[in-house]
Amino acid sequence: MIRNLSEESITLLDKPLNAIDYVVFDFETTGINPELGDRIIEIGAVKIKANFRISKSKFHRLIKTNAIASKSSFDVHGISEDELLKGCDECVAIYDFIDFARGCVLVAHNASKDIAFLRHSLKDYLVDNPFEIFVDTLSLSRKLFPLASGHSLDAITERYRFKSVTGFKRHRALYDAEITALFFRFAVKKLFRTQCFSLFELLEFLKRR
């Protein structure tokens, strides 16, 4: 994650955690494997500005797709084909997301899945990946609170009594992005006060065994 970075990303690594803009995001998808044809069908994102301020600026897109959602995926997010007919093309949604998140550090819960889908979509549309650094709040929860009874988004929501004001329910992209943003702000502020001053130090903390 830290090797062969651009000058812009290297500059970000040296910044204090409270001087960085973050975009906390979530994808809902038709399945779990983009290499086997699964696609993104919903993007939700929340921006956290300097001094860990959650911005009123939010991002939400439903995406049309020819891929059929697996029953297990539909049972989770419940997004119907009729809803997706009102969505936009994936290419447009991805470009809009890039514009929204450009210059920010990406944050997601269990980020490897969402990052895999993002990279696959960027490759499909021949777009250079502008996001070289990301933070996984699942790893953050496990490292910072090792004795907690669970680290899923459901467990975190219940433990800290986080509430979303998006109007969506759990397992919808904007809801999950907002809950993740609330946890990330809570956790990273704690780390900033006690252990990690810069983004580099945060990433090193997450790498420790």
Question: Of the residues 77, 109, 151, 171, which is catalytic?
Answer: 171
In the chain, alpha helices (H): 7-13, 71-77, 81-85, 90-101, 111-124, 137-144, 153-160, 173-194, 199-207
- Burial-class residue 57 by CB neighbours within 10 Å (0-12, 13-18, 19+): exposed
CA distance 123 to 142: 31
- Could you confirm whether 151 is annotated as catalytic? no
CA distance 182 to 163: 9
Distance between alpha carbon 43 and the CA centroid of its chain, in Å? 9
173-194 helix and 137-144 helix, angle to the nearest 10 degrees: 40
Known catalytic residues? Answer: 171
